[in-house]
A = this chain, B = another copy of it.
């Protein structure tokens, strides 16, 4: 399984911490210390997960080594959907008139990208698909309550598109070495740790400490276990691409792994927590940095809870 292309989209507007100072009665330093966030992206009133996902896909088109119409599996991933019936996956199918594709949207909160990749892997292996598109997109701002001191200042908006093929397509490809995911709804505060109940006020994070502890634990667990399973050591790893929920969680994981600062790809400082798109956006933002034979590791954690990892190698 090979990753052929990645691209991302971020809205034009960046909201600085100063926006929250009066609203939440906190300081810029308080937000930075707790989260690492200085600004966060915010979609315009004309944007949503479908439009942002489309922008991300569009950016990949010129460099895609095959026609997008050849895609036979489209999975969108979002917990902040614009439309739960006409999903982002179906919207993309319609926009590009992709006439022969299995199509659905998934969520396991901020770990959805890894679950989607694991589904792609399975459909490649049983022959139901050979070229797949995963669109991760989050429109957190529309479900967020900015007056919530616990989590109102955390969220950003954005999208990313990744294209996969069963067979290798070009020397620009990344080879997927392994993918792992785990549902953790039975751990800690589980489904109450973070929630987005559209009919009960949207996004809430009443148990931040529980989320912090389990995200730190399971992102480290995912990262180390997938390396061991594939007979790799930390010395073999070039880059960690973590879910961008909170700089303290990421630093905790990176320190425990003994990684240097330049090995950890970050975007949370500028764009906030962009949900399941966050690690994919970080991957896309750094795409020119990767050299042949570099080994990259996604490690993610989702409220709900879930965790996941994906190990890949630049060809």
Q: 1/0 contact trace for A117-149 toward B, CB 8 Å?
A: 011011101101000000000000011000000
CA distance A160 to B67 in the complex (A): 40
Q: Point out the residue from B102, B182, B303 that lies within 8 Å of A183, measured CB to CB.
A: B102
Verify A84–B122 contact, CB threshold 8 A: no
Q: Measured between C-beta atoms, what is the minimum distance from A89 to chain B in Å?
A: 7
CB-nearest residue of chain B to A108:
B104
| A299 part of interface (Cβ distance < 8 Å) | no
Verify A199–B142 contact, CB threshold 8 A: yes
Verify B128–A85 contact, CB threshold 8 A: no
Across the interface, which residues of B come within 8 angstroms of A97, CB to CB?
186
| A165 part of interface (Cβ distance < 8 Å) | no
Q: Measured between C-beta atoms, what is the minimum distance from A84 to chain B in Å?
A: 4
Across the interface, which residues of B come within 8 angstroms of A106, CB to CB?
104-107
| A82 part of interface (Cβ distance < 8 Å) | yes
Verify B86–A303 contact, CB threshold 8 A: yes
Q: Measured between C-beta atoms, what is the minimum distance from A4 to chain B in Å?
A: 20
Copies in the complex: 2
Across the interface, which residues of B come within 8 angstroms of A53, CB to CB?
none
CA distance A305 to B82 in the complex (A): 16
Verify A182–B304 contact, CB threshold 8 A: no
Q: Measured between C-beta atoms, what is the minimum distance from A216 to chain B in Å?
A: 19
CB-nearest residue of chain B to A77:
B104
CB-nearest residue of chain B to A115:
B104
Q: 1/0 contact trace for A186-230 toward B, CB 8 Å?
A: 100011111111110001000000000000000000000000000
Verify A305–B90 contact, CB threshold 8 A: yes
Q: 1/0 contact trace for A69-90 toward B, CB 8 Å?
A: 0000010000111111111011
Across the interface, which residues of B come within 8 angstroms of A183, CB to CB?
74, 89-90, 93, 98, 101-104
Verify B86–A107 contact, CB threshold 8 A: no
Verify B126–A122 contact, CB threshold 8 A: yes
Q: Measured between C-beta atoms, what is the minimum distance from A308 to chain B in Å?
A: 9
Verify A104–B104 contact, CB threshold 8 A: no
| A65 part of interface (Cβ distance < 8 Å) | no
Q: Measured between C-beta atoms, what is the minimum distance from A39 to chain B in Å?
A: 24
| A242 part of interface (Cβ distance < 8 Å) | no
Q: Measured between C-beta atoms, what is the minimum distance from A277 to chain B in Å?
A: 14
Q: Give 24 A-B contacts (CB < 8 Å), ordered by A residue.
A: A83-B196, A84-B109, A85-B195, A85-B303, A87-B109, A89-B185, A90-B184, A93-B183, A93-B184, A93-B185, A93-B186, A93-B190, A94-B186, A94-B191, A98-B185, A98-B186, A103-B108, A104-B106, A104-B112, A106-B106, A118-B128, A119-B119, A122-B126, A142-B199
**Other CB < 8 Å A-B pairs besides A82-B199, A87-B109, A98-B183, 5 of them?**
A84-B107, A94-B191, A102-B118, A103-B185, A143-B199
Instruction: List A residues at the B interface (Cβ < 8 Å).
Output: 50, 74, 79-87, 89-94, 96-109, 112, 115, 118-119, 121-123, 125-126, 128, 142-143, 181-186, 190-199, 203, 302-306
6 closest A-B pairs by beta carbon, nearest first, are: A103-B183, A86-B191, A90-B185, A93-B185, A122-B122, A94-B185
